[in-house]
Structure 1
């Protein structure tokens, strides 16, 4: 399960399980219900004492492979509420009252790619992994909130290409498209993310959360709009 680590002046939230490269029960950090609850609780802990920048990363091959497709296939009637819970997680990260940096250590697909967009800044490893929105290739729609998130956080050209082509972006291509700010060797990935967070550390506190909420008010309104049962 995801865990929080305090590394000096920076907090680190790992999307996988402590002590292992891959969690055997959830090796690609999909958005299972227990995983969503765990990450949400950890973000609440950070928000309760907003003094340190937060780096969000994982170990192993995946940052996050996104939605729990097994759960969706077995619980079609529960899909709207499930997606609403995903949106709730996005809102928590978007409005966190500390600087946030996503250190994309591996594949970030679908909802996992969108989670990275919720951070203030993103860095991505150079050697391995893709950032991608595969929904078009999979025959899946985007929710209103997800579309708004992508459209808000990326340029129109990048959002159009990413959403309509399901392109897989390596680190350098992601920098070129403005999806991430920097491409970094894996050995420096988390350290560089921490440096970027520390540059903004003096701004941490409740006021930063208020500013983020005001800045992103239309996006948050879209994410807080209940998902209709007619989505699919």
Structure 2
């Protein structure tokens, strides 16, 4: 795999995002992530999963530079892959912990909220869903996933303003569960995963699925109309202009 590194230690799958400096999400990274999640789900030797980023970045979200250059067919394929991946990760019934090692906006935040617990490194970092200011339509299923952790009213307000949180703000809002020194993030994530895996596995996993069922149903519903709306807005001059400005800033 080119963008995902995976090691198994004491029955825990350690999944490392490895896509450039900022772990931006492109088509191949999504495909590799889904394959890794599916493998962890069906492998009886794996009891849980920890998702790791890099120092300073968990994931900067969608790789806008790559996506901006995609043609119509490639963009359509990407969004279908993205929604299918999130559906797969939301339905993953083994324990999953996100070790958020730095910035985690937009798609990076989506990766984190698929997990059962989020440990974030303290520092001058941001996390949250800022799709609306970027010109990307928020799917109802993503809103439901965000609201699962924040409550629907708070998720509604934060999504419409594209709010990004610093670590302590995210902790207060319930978006992350723990803020630690960056040097302690792996230890903290491992400690929490061990709390989950100490229980009888079928009881824990069935309970997780029961409590997530409404969110799972939202992603298992037909996403075609949502994706079509996203694609239509993606190609609009207004959104293209916003993304082009972001890309120009990134390159500078």
TM-score interval, normalised by the smaller of the two chains? 0.7 to 0.9
How far apart in 2 are the matches of 1:208 and 1:75? 43
Match for residue 12 of structure 1? 14
Contact 1:95 1:210 in 2 (8 A): no
Classify the secondary structure of the residue corresponding to 1:198. helix
Matched, 1:109 2:108: no
Q: Deviations over 1:175-224 (max 9, x none)?
A: 00000111111011111010000011134756654443333233223223
| TM-score calculated relative to the size of structure 1 | 0.86
Match for residue 58 of structure 2? 63
* Distance apart, 1:121 and its partner CA: 0.6
Structure showing greater relative contact order (alpha-carbon pairs closer than 8 Å, 6 or more residues apart): 1
Segments of 5+ residues of structure 2 without an aligned counterpart are: 234-252
Alignment of 1:1-232 (within 5 A): 1-16=3-18, 23=19, 26-50=20-44, 51-73=46-68, 74-203=70-199, 205=201, 208-224=204-220, 225-228=222-225, 229-231=228-230, 232=233
Aligned length: 224
Contact 2:147 2:153 in 1 (8 A): no
* Distance apart, 1:11 and its partner CA: 2.5
Q: Deviations over 1:87-145 (max 9, x none)?
A: 22222222223211111111111111011001001111102421021212212210122
How far apart in 2 are the matches of 1:98 and 1:130? 27
Q: Deviations over 1:53-80 (max 9, x none)?
A: 2111111321112223234332345544
* Distance apart, 1:14 and its partner CA: 0.7
Contact 2:149 2:174 in 1 (8 A): no
CA RMSD of aligned residues (A): 2.2
Residues 1:91 and 1:12: Cα distance change in structure 2 (over 3 Å)? same
How far apart in 1 are the matches of 2:224 and 2:76? 5
| TM-score calculated relative to the size of structure 2 | 0.80
Segments of 5+ residues of structure 1 without an aligned counterpart are: 17-22
Moved more, 200-209 or 177-186: 200-209
